[in-house]
Amino acid sequence: MSAIVQFENVGLRYGLDSETLCDVSFSLHGGGFYFLTGASGAGKTSLLKLLYLAQRPSRGVIRLFGEDVVTLPRGRLPGFRRRIGVVFQDFRLVPHLTAYDNIALPLRLAGMAEGEIDAPVVEMLQWVGLGDRGDARPATLSGGEQQRVAIARAVIGRPEILVADEPTGNVDADMARRLMTLFEALNRLGTTIVVATHDLPLIAQVQGAQMMRLDKGRLADPTGALRYPPRAPGVTP
């Protein structure tokens, strides 16, 4: 399998602070299922931001789909972003749009005809158990419901990579299991899944997944050799 994501000696610094990410190198292969773990503040969200092109690194090389995205002109970023689905930690639903319109957003941005949008959106709403909440605005949804809308929005465009930042943080165990089942189903269809989570039991549910662990901005295994289950909690750089 070819590497769909490659990080080489990537460093990320916000302003004049010390590096949030330091010498991060790894490769993710197309169709893989990856977990990213680490303590709070270890740099998981920062790494994901680099992955879904919300941020450029301070140094190093990032290749997505075989292209160096660090030096990519701004005008070409949307094309890459449409190939990546993101479930944000804080959901980032558009507050004035209904659940239906939030989920339909990626399809509309991709220019899909309105007549073709309804069926997949309704299907996705039903799949995440919100079939009767399509007209609800995010403010009227519970945290768990908002998270399911965010997940539905991230996967509806059948992205090549799905990046999820703590996707099960606000849902009960049953919904968490269902979400993982969805991710596995997408993974079987060829989508590369990257999930940042603290939830080690959740990781154990997914057979064949690989894990990266960040510790103070560094990948715990500096060789970038990814494995599941983690060899030992104390892997040091």
Considering only residues 95 to 114 of the shown chain, the ones binding another protein according to CB under 8 A are: 95-97, 101, 104-106, 108-110, 113-114
Binding region for another protein (CB under 8 A) out of 54-62, 167-175, 209-217, 228-236: 54-62
Distance CA(232)–CA(59), nearest Å, equals: 29
Closer by beta carbon to another protein, 121 or else 202: 121
Question: Which one of 3, 61, 70, 77 is in contact with another protein (CB under 8 A)?
Answer: 77
Question: Which one of 78, 131, 229, 237 is in contact with another protein (CB under 8 A)?
Answer: 78
Q: Are 58 and 18 in contact (CB under 8 A)?
A: no
* Cβ at position 94, least distance to another protein in Å: 5
DSSP 213: E
DSSP 134: T
Closer by beta carbon to another protein, 97 or else 235: 97
Q: Are 156 and 124 in contact (CB under 8 A)?
A: yes
Tokens representing residue 209 in the block:
């997944």
Question: Which one of 25, 30, 54, 129 is in contact with another protein (CB under 8 A)?
Answer: 54
Considering only residues 132 to 171 of the shown chain, the ones binding another protein according to CB under 8 A are: 153
Task: Find all residues with CB under 8 Å of 81, minimum gap 6, and list them.
Answer: 52, 53
Closer by beta carbon to another protein, 22 or else 156: 156
Q: Is 126 helix (H, G, I), strand (E, B) or coil?
A: helix
Task: Return the HEC string of 47-86.
Answer: HHHHHCCCCCCCEEEEEECCEECCCCCHHHHHHHHCCEEE
Considering only residues 200 to 229 of the shown chain, the ones binding another protein according to CB under 8 A are: none
Q: Summarize as ranges the residues that interact with another protein (CB under 8 A).
A: 52-56, 74-75, 77-82, 86, 92, 94-97, 101, 104-106, 108-110, 113-115, 153
